[in-house]
Amino acid sequence: MKGQTQAVTAVMITGIMIGTITAVYIWGTPLLEKREGQAQLDQIENDVIGLKDGIESISNAGTGSGSEIDIRLDNGEVTVNQTGNFIDITTSASNSNYPVDTWRLLEGDSLQGLSFAAGDYGIRGRETPGVVAVNAEEGSDRVTYRVEFRNLQDERFETPRMEQTDLQLAGSERSSDDTTISIVNQGAQVDENGFTLQNGETIDLERQVVRVDLQ
């Protein structure tokens, strides 16, 4: 009888262990994957904010200054939109914490004058020159980060003028996975009457040209 009791106890313990291991596997694996996915997004977000900060620093550092920024992407791409004056970093993430189908600012003030919002420009001192925004697509695992630099009207002068950190592409406009972005200050250029306001008035556009090269 004693031997039978021990055998039954052993079977029960084994069953409990198997059940526990199975439960941990079933419930724990998705949670672990979600945490790993969010950690990867946090890393990319930090890299993208570092890119925006790097461009701003180089833009203010004088002609010829430069830097290289690493964007760590296991599965994604970097795209430079010279016309829109922004850089998109796209990746895949099945469980992000970002709002769906809407752009949200991660860095910067106000949506005024951005490609995905209203207006052609912001106001110097009220809006920041550059922003970092993110958009998660509904029904997809696609997450896009955007580093964008907008036009800013400078009203400190007797004759107002428009300012812009102008991203100028060198080489390919697209790069896949891990990418090093080289940025170099090419100096300032002034386009006389280069910007037309909504009332039809034209004012000078001062562009701080930053060359962007994907490597």
pLDDT of residue 32 exceeding 60, the answer is no
Q: Among residues 96, 56, 92, which one has the least CA distance to residue 176?
A: 92
Answer whether 0.85 is exceeded by the pTM. Answer: no
46 exposure class (CB count in 10 Å sphere: 0-12, 13-18, 19+): exposed
Mean of the pLDDT values across residues 96-118? 94
> Coil, strand, or helix at residue 72?
coil
| Residue found under tokens 């036009």 | 151
Residues 69 and 47 sit within 8 Å (Cβ to Cβ): yes
pLDDT of residue 103 exceeding 60, the answer is yes
- pLDDT confidence of residue 110: 94
- pLDDT confidence of residue 37: 54
Q: Could you tell me which residue, 116 or 24, shows the higher pLDDT?
A: 116
- pLDDT confidence of residue 4: 59
pLDDT-derived band at 155 (thresholds 50, 70, 90) equals confident
Averaged confidence pLDDT in the chain: 88
Could you please report the per-residue DSSP string of 101-132?
TS-EEEESS--TT-TTSS-S-EEBTTB-SEEE
pLDDT of residue 73 exceeding 50, the answer is yes
Mean of the pLDDT values across residues 76-80? 98
Residues 162 and 153 sit within 8 Å (Cβ to Cβ): yes
